[in-house]
Amino acid sequence: MQIAPRKKEKRIMATRIVVGAQWGDEGKGKMVDYLAQNADLIVRYQGGDNAGHTVVNDKGVFKLHLIPCGIFYDRCAALAGTGMVVNPDELLKEIADVESKGVDSSKLFISERATMLMPYHITLDELFERSKNGIGTTKRGIGPAYADKARRIALRMGDLKNLDYAKGRLESVLPLINLELKAFGGGEVDLKQLFSKLQYWSYKLAHRLVEPVSFVRKYIDGGRNVLFEGQLGVMKDLDLGIYPYVTSSNPTVAYACASCGVPIGKITDVTGVIKAFSSAVGQGPFPTEMGEAESEAFRGSGENVDDEFGARTGRARRLGWLDLPVVKYGAEINGYTELAVCKIDKLDSFDKIKVCVGYELDGRLLDVMPSTSELERVKPVYREMEGWKCDTTRVRKIADLPENAKKYLRLIEEYTGVKVAYAGVGPDRDSIATL
């Protein structure tokens, strides 16, 4: 596949990574969809169908779990990247859904090196969550699939191109998988039935498989705009987040480069996406968590697309005030060149708005992000700000926001050292105030 630069357009080439800067659910889907209008290729670089990236455009409301958000633009190719775990059944459902709404899926490709998420991974996840060691996962099989990748017994999506090889792999790994299922109280996997699934997946998906490193590099070396899309946020990073209450991959910038085979020097921009407040799902420390009464002012009923319920699970999110130590921690790790602050409009009605500007532990102020066990004990130090008490949903320039809203954004900039380039003021694609 030869990718040549577009000669007639005068655009600055960008290789941009979009990262969740909190606990996930920050509004990455909206921002990726917005930024993808100038992209030639978008790459989802980690996670699986535990993601729920919500996009609202002229074709409807979409909750994407595996397909990169750039799929809605005719000019933009989309790659499910190497760092992902791909459930073929869920991917086929998602392809059928977007196609039913008039979206062209022919430009969707899959890394042949991506891990194949199998039905037994979902079963193992469900069984584990029922045990005393459950941490509140989505039960989509993500953790077991990544575990099998790490212990080198997973199948890859590229195995769908060689079914004899895939069958041999299944024959070698299923005895171990069946022992694990039995230990957790589950039933055995039938090789014949599972191989039949692989044959079907091969028929439906093999034509989308590509060698990912050369595929991505042709776009970058051709001077094209490439956008990398992460899932979840920095506090759910396997290594740098609130372990063990984390995902099984790395949502951070470095993993985008590692999993896609892209040198770090090729990255030109890093967009950190935050909510104007905080939200989290699953268990683990959440220092600024509100009480139920306060949370209800943010959550909504679930009837609206931007209400605070998980796009993947439908679970009510845990809600809290904006936690600036978390945002600064993410900035230090990821090197954000800009921030996008989503859901500013959700603060429109508040007289007073609290912002966490530090942590206190055992009577002393902390200057580093503490370990999980310490984070569970910290007391947030709040700064109270005046609300703006007016509608921001029609604002399209940051300079036109109410003065107190601009003060709110300036506090974020001053604390993190990163400029705010975008402010989300509603769920729709164009509901964004820019510089």
pLDDT, residue 135, reads 77
Average pLDDT of the chain to the nearest whole number: 92
pLDDT, residue 293, reads 80
Domain annotation for the chain: domains and CATH numbers = 15-107+211-434 (3.90.170.10), 115-206 (1.10.300.10)
pLDDT band at 313 (very low <50, low <70, confident <90, very high): low
What is the pTM for the complete model shown? 0.91
pLDDT, residue 311, reads 64
Nearest alpha-carbon partner for 361 in 373, 376, 378, 381 = 378
Distances (CA, A) of 82 to 1, 111, 141, 186: 19, 5, 17, 30
Distances (CA, A) of 395 to 20, 338, 390, 401, 407: 24, 20, 11, 6, 16
pLDDT, residue 5, reads 43
pLDDT at 292 over 90: no
Cα–Cα dist 164/174, whole Å: 16
Percent of the chain with pLDDT over 70: 95
pLDDT, residue 303, reads 73
pLDDT band at 307 (very low <50, low <70, confident <90, very high): confident
CB 271 within 8 A of CB 263: no
Q: What sign results for the dihedral spanned by CA atoms 330, 336, 342, 347?
A: positive
Question: Among all residues, which ones are annotated catalytic?
Answer: 25, 53
Across the range 225-250, mean pLDDT stands at 95
pLDDT, residue 166, reads 97
- Least confident range from 72-76, 110-114, 198-202, 238-242: namely 72-76
pLDDT band at 53 (very low <50, low <70, confident <90, very high): confident
pLDDT at 97 over 90: yes
pLDDT at 10 over 70: no
CB 412 within 8 A of CB 341: yes
Across the range 164-177, mean pLDDT stands at 97
pLDDT digits 0-9 by tens, 126-153: 998 887 677 777 789 999 999 999 999 9
pLDDT, residue 12, reads 54
pLDDT, residue 7, reads 41
pLDDT at 8 over 60: no
pLDDT, residue 11, reads 46
pLDDT, residue 312, reads 66
**Paired sense of beta strands 379-386 and 352-361, if any:** antiparallel
**Paired sense of beta strands 338-342 and 364-365, if any:** unpaired
pLDDT digits 0-9 by tens, 185-235: 999 999 999 999 999 999 999 999 999 999 999 999 999 999 999 999 999
Distances (CA, A) of 181 to 115, 128, 141, 145, 148: 20, 10, 13, 14, 14
